[in-house]
Structure 1
Amino acid sequence: MKSVRFLPALAASLALGLLSACAHVAAGPVPVAAAIEERAPVTILVSIDGFRPDYLDRGLTPNLNALAAGGVKAAMRPSFPSKTFPNHYAIVTGLRPDRNGIVGNKMEDPRRPGVTFTLGDAKQALDPFWWDEAEPIWVTAGAQGVRTATLFWPGSEVAIHGRRPDDWWRYDENIPNSQRVDAVIDWLRRPAAKRPRLLTLYFDTVDTAGHAYGPAAAETDGAIAEVDRRIGDLVANLAAIGQPANIVVVSDHGMAATSDDRVIRIDRIVDPATIRLVADGPYAAIDPVAGSDARLAGELLKPHDHMQCWRKSEIPARFHFGANPRVPAYLCLADPGWLIFAAQPAWPAKGGNHGYDSDAPDMRATFIAAGPGIGGRGTLPVFDNVDVYPLLARLAGIRPRETDGDPATLAGIVAGR
């Protein structure tokens, strides 16, 4: 279907069912075959990767702001580390990275010596071994008879606990955002028996621009505006097919400006021959080479400018991080805007990055919820992203699994509570 740009508030009311969960029928006699189907609301979880809450204040997001005006919004605290895969999995499992098993975009497991999980290695990224420590909501939903569909979400391509979503696409960053929205609408055009009730939709372009150009760049503003148009398309097309929907918009983390002048060279602090650097950037995940632990501890654990290091057992409790065997022996965390490397980086440090302290203001994530199931209005206090999982389960009619989130945090925004 050709996309329709969303502008008037009435379109939001029709699409979301804020005034009524029923589709309108023209006055006068209507043949039975022409009657408009009365559709039950669906739940759509939308991720805009790297979307900071303050992006809503730039005058670029009329559609997202209209959603927020019809429901609730908040700045959300990501889980640590404030990286893409750990936080997307935290949102759909309700478990922080230390418990959901996805402790980084790049990680290793002592049960698989010499093997590294990275986003670019499909063999590892699609292996259930890495994901089976938790159960995402689409697996729980499927086991309870709720049909699901994912238009991209980390882990959704994997047979986690032997199950995938009922409908899913293999991730391809080259698929334009407009096509992603169209795919979701096409799934919702199906007959009721084949129609998903819980869906995900993922946009990566704001994060991509933030990394390349920085959060304040014109190119990032362009990406923000384009994704907002796609949100408008989604709302308008839902209205066109008479589909009420609870739309929950989240981001996984924020974005901090970085610079070539704010780089910490870990190889100038420790002998590179004594470490295995599992991950670098906003934080460094480090394992000692055999026999070098005492020397490494003496070098890493002393004070450093713009960086603090801990043994994994001594990582501050507020991070809820360090118990999982996949967390290396040492964690060094840079101040926001600084980067840690073990050599001259192969890519420019200038631009933007994330992975910093999850309490840092620039790492805040976005939360917006609106629809027939959302009775609250206004701006909520900051909350943890694992609190979204109980809300999703309630909106979709799913019995949730154990969660690190607090079900009470968002219970008050549910309609008819």
Structure 2
Amino acid sequence: QIQRMDGIMGTIMDKAGKLSIADKLNVLIVSDHGMTEVHPKQIIDLSAYTDLSRVKTTGAGPTVFLSAESTKTLTTVYNDLQQLPNAQVYWKRDIPDRWHYRNHERIPEVLIVAEEGWTLMPMGHGPRMSKGAHGYDNELTSMQAIFVADGPAFKSGYSRKIFENIHIYPLLAHILDLEPYQGIDGDLNVVKDLLAD
């Protein structure tokens, strides 16, 4: 897949280079997240650690949510799952702040996050596994997105540490000389060092 994408990008860049406006083009290559390899033998069967019959499970893979009508039932399941290997179990209130994930009404009461490369399966089985996954802790290098930019708006040969994708929108608005919507978390100042001017 990498060679295929490299070929596609090469074709796009070759064709763009032949345009009369080639010297004015700014090209950004971004991703929304990274990926990591998952192993078919690294499955965590949640039902082997607790009775899930009175709990609603949502998801499979790197994350699973749990909810129940009875707080007592959910507390029992939460306590049972503290012994899970290769995963962290959080009450909604304890989900790390940096994930910006716990304050929405649609987030269920319990979140389970697998360690990199491990797959959570509520009943020991689930959808056919792929060779890769995303959705693990975003501090993992493998989960970080890519950002490559080239063109007159950007410094040439410049490299910097990672930044959150939320800052790309104000960067694009600046390059296009547009007024960005103000009700966002993105901040041009975070990525201004990428700019040539």
CA contact (8 A) 2:45 2:125 kept: no
Shift of residue 333, structure 1, vs aligned partner:
0.4
Shift of residue 304, structure 1, vs aligned partner:
2.3
| TM-score using structure 1 length | 0.44
**1:294 corresponds to:** 72
Matching residue's letter, 2:54: T
SS at 1:327 equivalent: coil
5+ long unaligned stretches in structure 2 = none
Q: Verify: 1:326 aligned to 2:106, yes or no.
A: yes
Matching residue's letter, 1:274: R
SS at 1:277 equivalent: strand
**1:363 corresponds to:** 143
CA displacement, residues 85-131 of structure 1 (integer Å, 9 cap, x when unaligned) = xxxxxxxxxxxxxxxxxxxxxxxxxxxxxxxxxxxxxxxxxxxxxxx
**1:386 corresponds to:** 166
The whole-number CA distance in structure 2 between the counterparts of 1:327 and 1:397 is 37
Percentage of matched positions with identical amino acids:
26
Matching residue's letter, 1:298: T
The whole-number CA distance in structure 2 between the counterparts of 1:276 and 1:398 is 46
CA contact (8 A) 2:60 2:126 kept: no
SS at 2:172 equivalent: helix
CA displacement, residues 63-96 of structure 1 (integer Å, 9 cap, x when unaligned) = xxxxxxxxxxxxxxxxxxxxxxxxxxxxxxxxxx
5+ long unaligned stretches in structure 1 = 1-222
The whole-number CA distance in structure 2 between the counterparts of 1:400 and 1:268 is 50
Shift of residue 348, structure 1, vs aligned partner:
4.2
SS at 1:232 equivalent: helix
C-alpha change, 1:350 and 1:390, in structure 2 (3 Å) is closer
Q: Verify: 1:281 aligned to 2:66, yes or no.
A: no
Matching residue's letter, 1:312: K
SS at 2:26 equivalent: strand
Shift of residue 247, structure 1, vs aligned partner:
0.8
Q: Verify: 1:238 aligned to 2:19, yes or no.
A: no
SS at 1:383 equivalent: coil
Shift of residue 326, structure 1, vs aligned partner:
2.1
**2:175 corresponds to:** 395
SS at 1:415 equivalent: coil
Matching residue's letter, 2:10: G
The whole-number CA distance in structure 1 between the counterparts of 2:159 and 2:91 is 38
SS at 1:284 equivalent: strand
The whole-number CA distance in structure 2 between the counterparts of 1:300 and 1:411 is 44
SS at 1:229 equivalent: helix
| TM-score using structure 2 length | 0.88
Matching residue's letter, 1:260: P
Q: Verify: 1:309 aligned to 2:89, yes or no.
A: yes
Q: Verify: 1:225 aligned to 2:3, yes or no.
A: yes
Matching residue's letter, 1:379: S
CA displacement, residues 198-223 of structure 1 (integer Å, 9 cap, x when unaligned) = xxxxxxxxxxxxxxxxxxxxxxxxx1
CA contact (8 A) 1:281 1:340 kept: yes
SS at 2:34 equivalent: coil
Q: Verify: 1:372 aligned to 2:152, yes or no.
A: yes
**1:271 corresponds to:** 51
The whole-number CA distance in structure 1 between the counterparts of 2:125 and 2:84 is 20
